[in-house]
Structures are given as structure tokens and as C-alpha cells.
Amino acid sequence: MPETIAVPDLPVTERVALDPQTTALVVIDMQNDFVSPGGSLLVPDAAATVPLIAGLIDQARAAGARVVFSQDTHRDGDPEFAIWPVHVLEGGWGWEIVEELRPRPEDTVLRKPRYDAFYGTPLDHLLRQWGVRTLVICGTVANICVHYTAASAALRWYDVVIPRDAVSALDPFDLAASLRQTTGLFAGRVTTAGGVVFGA
């Protein structure tokens, strides 16, 4: 018999004003296999977040904040395919970042082999080189790659901000559970895409 669990109240910060010189926007895995019709591991709500993420990217670029894209990257025989269907094979259509969010030359794109965008990438090195102390993290999937990147950031003492409507999940429960961990264990702030302000 299914068990009903009440979702605890989640603190949501209405407005988060950020210094663009010490803030980076990190866009997690907005790739065709997760976002676009025909993708091999389609996240139901991911496409709906694209306009909100595009708005965050535009705002960050205009303010001079760093924009970082993670690009989940696998090859044939990856051990992860024992857990998930084959997805984001390097060089294929499903691996590409969706056209609406196409990175610009001044953005940073990091290919990552696992859930965490810090694992096996130079992300921490780059952030420290840039003087970044706060990460605004959006994208997909809420309780997997977004969550583990946020956790890894918090363990390194970065401030974490999650615009909840710019994050998608395979199930609403997964999103709620991840956001609760963000505000609790990570001491992060949850807001909305409209609540993120790069500048005073």
C-alpha cells in the first residue's frame, strides 16, 4: 500500500541579490537526451524550464557573471548504463546542449563523467581562479546531477542558490526532497528564477 508523506514547509527566499563578480551560474546537463522529444532519458518537466534558464543566462551574461555549463558525457560501455538507459553518448545528438541554451565562446563548458560537476572536472579550480564564492545552480535532474553538484559545492564552502522553477526532476517528490536538503544540510537558499538578481 502506498504511504502518504507530508512535504515539510520549505523556506523560500523571495529575492536573492548577488554580486556578479563573485557569482557563477551553473547550468546542469540541459542536453537533448534529457530535455528534447526523442531523448533517451527524457525528464518530463525539463523543457518547461528552458525559458527560465535562458533568462538567467541572459541576466548573468549582461551583468558580467560567469556562466558554466556541465555536459554529461558517456561512451559505449559506461558502467552508468547498468543504472540508467544509454544516454548522452559523446558526439551524438542526445549529448548536445539544447539549441535554445547554446553556450557562447565566453562561457565555460565542462564535460563530466558522473553526477557531480566537480568530479573529474576543473570546476573548483576555475571558480577559485575567478574569485567566485556563490553558485546559482539550475538544470536537470534535481535529485541527481543538480543535487550532487550542489552538495559538492557546499562541501567546498561555496554558497548555493537554487531557483526551484529552473530545475526539473523525474518526479515531484525528488525535487522537493532535494530542495529540503539544500536548505538544511547545505545551508543553501531556494528561490525562483525571477528572484535571482545579478547586481544590487
C-alpha gyration radius of the chain: 16
138 carries an active-site annotation:
no
Task: Work out the percent of the chain whose per-residue pLDDT is above 70.
Answer: 99
112 carries an active-site annotation:
yes
29 carries an active-site annotation:
yes
Q: How far is CA 52 from CA 32, 69, 89, 94, 153, in A?
A: 17, 15, 26, 21, 22
Please pick, among 33, 112, 138, 159, the residue that the annotation labels catalytic.
112
pLDDT per residue as tens digits for the range 58-85: 999 999 999 999 999 999 999 999 999 9
Angle, alpha carbons 164-126-103 (nearest 5°): 60
Give residue 200's pLDDT: 67
pLDDT per residue as tens digits for the range 98-120: 999 999 999 999 999 999 999 99
Please pick, among 72, 78, 138, 145, the residue that the annotation labels catalytic.
145
Q: Which of 184, 183, 148 is nearest to 16 (CA)?
A: 183
| Residue 138 scores a pLDDT above 80 | yes
- Going along the chain from its start, the domains and CATH numbers come out as 16-198 (3.40.50.850)
**4: pLDDT confidence band, cut at 50, 70 and 90?**
confident
- pTM of the model as a whole: 0.96
Residues facing 97 on adjacent strands: 31
Task: Quote the DSSP letter at residue 171.
Answer: S
Q: For residues 17 and 6, what is the distance between their CA atoms, to the nearest angstrom? A: 31
**Grid coordinates belonging to 88:** 548522452
Please pick, among 29, 78, 107, 116, the residue that the annotation labels catalytic.
29
| Residue 8 scores a pLDDT above 90 | no
Cβ-contact 132, 66 below 8 angstroms: yes
Determine the number of helices (DSSP H) and then strands (DSSP E) in the chain. 5, 9
